[in-house]
Amino acid sequence: MKSYFSVLALSAAAFYGTTAMAQTDDYKNYREVSRDTVDNVSTTRVVVDSVYSTKQTMTNGFFDNWFVFATGGAHSFYGDHSHLGGFSGTLSPDFSLGIGKWVTPGFGFKAEFIRSNSKGYTLPGYGYRYGDILTNSKGEKYQKMKTNWWDFSINGIFNLSRLIAGYEGNNSSRLMNQFWLNLGLGAVHHMGLQGTGSDNEWSGHAEFQYSRFFNKKKNFSIDLKARALVYQTNFDLEYGNRDYSANKFDANIGLAVGFTYYLGGTKHNTWQTAGQTIYKTDYRERKIEIVKIPEGVNPVNYSTLTFYVFYPNNYSGRNDAPLVATSKVNAIDYLAGGIYTQKKFTDNAAVTARLNRNANTNGLAFVDIPTEPANRNFAVNYVPRGYEMSTKPLSLSLQADEMVSFQRHAGYFYAPIFDGNNAWQYRVDNETWKQRLATEDNYKETNSYQLNAHAGLGTVRQYLKVENGDELVSFADIYAAMMSNVGHISQYTDAATVARIKNILEKGTITMIQAEGLATSQDNYSGADAAQVGLQRNNALSQNRANTVITWLKGKDRLQQVASQIFLVNSLDGAVRNVQDNSTRSLNAKLNRCVKVRIHYMLK
């Protein structure tokens, strides 16, 4: 099997005129080669069916899912002459026994035997009459009637609760109350009275049932039933004559209470859900990638490095502009080893005065602090530094004693970013710091999963996508390989991984670098077109995050000889990921504020 595709979709119109840092833009000296990945694929698993929800189940064997039941109740007989006497004279008790089977959780059948009688009224001289001739208040003559009978029926059962809500699963607390609709046909045998004879006929059954279960096994229920048994009009031996027209149907309508017991022990309510069928086909799939390489380079040992760069909420780094001629705030250095908001108050005395009278520091002037490369030993090293690097969160306390302690070490007071009563306690973009968050806690970091450190790769691999064959490394590993694996950053890297990345960058040939920015769906804008505004905001964040990483990579010595057209900013899987949690500090939110980078390379 062959599938030919190009991973590298480059547009000359978009890229040929661009220049980035000191990259070599003599792209005409690159040539196309076919990257044959036949050795990377040995076995392919083809999924021909998917895992379905519990609303889709498979039928079980004939001997599975049986139950028995018993019912007792009362009914009123509606015949041709039921109106001649009082209602109480139409009432009779009944009882039934039966057995049934579920074919699926929502459909089954039952066989039921009912023993009862029907009482009512008839014209003198007709039907199952007995007793004296009576006269009602209207002057109408009638006699009482009664017929003993038994009925045997087959009914279809429709479990409305499961048909609507789906099968609840074995040993589940769901659907402890269930509603059934039972419809069927039966045969009635009249046992006769005072030599009037017997009769046989068909019956129609309609029953609405409520069943209450009392444990998760659902092996026993108490049942309440409203039911009607409908017969052809001669059920009471009345056919009609010249004095009246007979009803089309006779009927027994009543209520009953009973119980149902489910056979089969613990397996009585177990159903096999439709599952995933996986066929393993052993073949070698040949894939051809068209890549661009410099002239004179022989393609050998193609591979890909993948790493993720994780960002705080509302931060992309694109506004981290130079402060003075020789110092600047750098977004990537901030993520690797930045401190708090990377801002300080300009007037220590003013801060001290506020703290002494237990007042907040809102309104006091503050400025950016230049970032330091993380491959050095920091003078201020007793507080958390870098986003998602250590096990401690980036945010610091706004308590007076802790702020004073920091000032004694560093010579300045660290400053949050104020927006009214809300104080951001990590770095944000200039365009986003006025955006309101759901809760005050969301303006600070309270936990860290080390997503940017080598120690967090297990979490990243568990929740985010890494293509087959790619080597996953951490942002800290990449940073150390680009800079040097010493100082602060060395605490969060793996030395062997850093050495391998360095070898790739120094001896390999980079064929393509793809960056995909991601943002969460979280946004609290409530004005007109809120959904569209929120989507635009987060799309902008995702794109800016990717551009920030690409700009940083282009500026590194190890990549300056790579043509700028090799760097691509993509939206491979959708730029905005849906996050239901209101917290911006949850793991799900943190995982989806990132940039995914894939470095494709060849190594001799």
CA–CA gap between residue 39 and residue 466 (Å, rounded): 19
DSSP string, 163-211: HHH----TT-SS-SEEEEEEEEEEEEEE--STT----EEEEEEEEEEEE
Residues 6+ apart with CB under 8 A from 155: 109, 110, 111, 112, 182, 183, 184, 205, 207
Helices (H) and strands (E) in the chain, counts: 10, 28
Predicted local confidence at residue 599, as pLDDT: 92
Helix (H, G, I), strand (E, B) or coil at 2: strand
Cα(first)–Cα(last) distance of the chain, in Å? Answer: 28
For residue 71, the model assigns a pLDDT of 97
CB 108 within 8 A of CB 101: yes
Per-residue pLDDT tens digits for 86-122: 999 999 999 999 999 999 889 999 999 999 999 999 8
pLDDT for 419-432, tens place per residue?
A: 777 889 999 988 78
- Collect the ranges in the chain with pLDDT lower than 50: 1-55, 194-195, 242, 275-290, 572
The C-alpha torsion from 234 through 235 and 237 to 238, rounded to 10°, is: -50
Burial of residue 180 (CB within 10 Å: 0-12, 13-18, 19+) is buried
Continuous H helices in 302-438:
331-337, 348-356, 400-410
Q: What is the pLDDT of residue 177?
A: 96
DSSP state of 275: -
How far out from the chain centre does Cα 208 lie?
36
Rounded CA gap, 367 and 348, in Å? 12
For the question of whether the overall pTM of this predicted structure is more than 0.75, the answer is no
Q: Calculate helix-pair angle for 475-482, 495-507, nearest 10 degrees.
A: 50
Distance CA 13, CA 17 (A): 8
